[in-house]
Homo-oligomer: A and B are copies of this chain.
Amino acid sequence: MFKNVLKEVVDNTEGAVSSILMGFDGIAVENYSKQDSEFNAEDIAMEYGVILGQIKQAAESLKVGVTREVAIQAERMTAVIRLLNEEYFVAVMVLPGGNQGKARFLMRTRANKLLENLS
């Protein structure tokens, strides 16, 4: 079921190559890759996942509320990340020039479906 959602998001986002559902403990629940890529979604999600924990804490101390989404755009890859709950997040890797906005939209609208199956 997770795989279907991860595939749906990637296949319907121009420039997206992979997606992953991961716990903040760095353990992947499921992932999907559309094509071979020099970048491994799990490596990226693990590295950024550690930083997400710090962003969550910073947002709390700033009183701006719960962190919903983080996008990190680097020269060769953008990671669009949606925080699902205290334990899990989902990330989509998008190539330069891809449609980040579509990835955000699809993850936002599919978040509940993922959450239902995580609890």
Please give the residue numbers on chain A whose beta carbons come within 8 Å of chain B beta carbons, in ascending order.
39, 43-44, 47-48, 50-51, 54-55, 58-59, 61-77, 101
- Number of this chain's copies in the assembly equals 2
Verify B59–A69 contact, CB threshold 8 A. Answer: no
A94 to chain B, nearest CB (A): 11
For the complex, would chain A's binding face be called helix, strand, loop or mixed by DSSP majority? Answer: mixed
Q: Which 7 A-B pairs have the closest CB atoms?
A: A65-B75, A69-B73, A64-B74, A64-B77, A65-B76, A47-B58, A71-B71
Known: A58-B47, A101-B101. A64 touches B75 (CB 8 A): yes
Known contacts A47-B58, A66-B74, A67-B74, then 19 further A-B pairs from the complex at CB < 8 Å, ordered by chain A residue:
A39-B63, A43-B62, A47-B61, A47-B62, A48-B58, A51-B51, A59-B72, A63-B76, A64-B75, A64-B77, A65-B74, A65-B75, A68-B73, A68-B74, A69-B71, A69-B72, A70-B70, A70-B71, A101-B101
